[in-house]
Structure 1
Amino acid sequence: MQEYFIKGLPSGEQVKVTDKDISKHMFTVMRLQVDDEVVLVFDDGIKRLARISDRDEQLLTLVEDLVDDVELPVAVTIAMGFPKGDKLEFVTQKATELGASQLWAFPADWSVVRWDAKKLAKKAEKLEKIAQGAAQQSKRNKIPSVQLFAHKKDFLAEVAQFDQIFLAYEESAKQGEQAQLVKGLSQLEPGQKILFIFGPEGGISPAEVADLTDLGAVSVGLGPRILRAETAPLYALSAVSVALELKG
C-alpha cells in the first residue's frame, strides 16, 4: 500500500491533497480511484489509513489510525564533513532508509568542496526531497530533517545537546580499537539523542578530534577495515539497529 507524508495535522475526517508532487504521484502515476486506500503520515508521526473519496477534488477520508511505528528507539543524527560529488545525496537516501532522524553536514578542515549560502540552500532543498522519497519508500513514520552548516563553529555549537556523541575516527580503527562502539551502544536508552560524526574523504583532522573530544565525543573504530566517507554512516546506523532492535 502506498504511503504519503502530509504536512500539518489532520483536522476532521476529510483531507485534501494540496502538494503537487504527492497529487501527481497519487492520481497520475498510481492512477488511484475512488475507494482505493493509502496510508497518510502527518507531522505527528502517526500512520492513518485513508480512502479516496473524491478524485477530482483530491479528497481522502481518514478511516483509522494504524499501530505501526518503525522508528529507531533512539534519535540518531548523522553529521559528516562536506564530501565530494553526490555522496551527500547517497548518504541521505540510505541513512533515511536505515532510520536516521537528522542529517547534518559541515565544512570540515579536510573537506575539498566549499559551498556558498546559495548553493547550500539549493543542496538542502534537494536533500530534503530525497529524504522524503526514501522515507515513503521505507515506510517511515517521520522524515529526517536536513541541515547544512555554512560554518563549522555553528555545527560545533549544536553538539552539546546530545546524550551520546560518537566520533568515527580512522586512527581508532587502525589501532584496533573495537570496544568503545560496542560499549557505547550497550548503554543507549530509549528516547536518547545520539550523534555520529564522520569526516569527509580525508577524514577528521587532529584539531577537530581535540575540539569534539572537549565537547564530549568518544572516538570509536568501525571495525578492522577502513570505510569510505559514504559507507561509515550506514555501518553506524546498522550497528544501532542490531544493538537495539534485533536483540530478540
Structure 2
Amino acid sequence: MIQAKKSALFERAFAMYLMPSIRRSFSHLYARNIRPSKGPALIISNHSSWWDGLLFFFLNRRVWNLDVHIMMHERGLKEFPFFRRLGAFSIDRNNPKDILASLRYAENLLKQGKTVILFPQGDEFHLETRPLEFHTGVVYLLEKCPEIPLVPVHFYYSMRRDKHPEVWIDQGDSLMLSDFPEGSRHDRTVWLQERETTALDRLKTDVLEENYEEFQEMLKRRRKP
C-alpha cells in the first residue's frame, strides 16, 4: 500500500487552487447539518464522482478543521500522487494482503487521534446505483476502535436551471458501534448499507422537491460585472 505524506504547506497552497475551482465547476453547493466533530471520527460517504474527495477537503477547510486522511484506490493515487500530501493513502481491493494492510493503517491513524474518510462502496458507482453495496471495512474499524464515532455524509449531484451542476451535501447523525444491532460483521455492514441507502434516497427527495429551507448555501458566487 501507499502511505500518506501530509504537508500542511501543500494543503494551504492546494486550498488556494481548489476554492476557485469549485466556484467555477458548480452553480450551487447546498449543505445540511455540516458541523465539526468534537474529536477524531470515521467518516463515510456514497461515492459517485471524482469530486467527492475534493469536497471533503473543502468541508474540512471550511468547517471541520480535523487532521484528515482519506482512503483512495491505489490506481487513482498512482495517477494523482499529489493527493498523498493531502492525506490520501491507498488500498488495492484486488489484493487481500493489501486490503488488510490498508485497514490496519487506517486503524492506527484513528488510534493516533486522526480522522479517516473512506468510501464503503470501494469504488465509484453511478449515483442511482442501488443498493449501496458496502464492504465490511467500516465495521472492522469500528470494532477495532469502538470509541470512535462513525459520521455519515451523503453527496447528491444535480443538473437544474444553471449551466453548471449543483451539489447537495447532508451530514447525518453520528453512530457508535453500540448503536449497531448484534450480529456478524457482514450483518452489521448490511444494516449500515440499508440505513445509508435510505438516507441518500431521502436527500434525493429533498433535491427533487427543492427543499432549500433546511440547507445552507456554502458556495460564495462571484458578483457579475
TM-score by length of structure 1 reads 0.32
Give the number of the structure whose alpha-carbon radius of gyration is greater. 1
> Greater strand share, 1 or 2?
1
Judging by fraction of residues, say which structure has more helix.
2
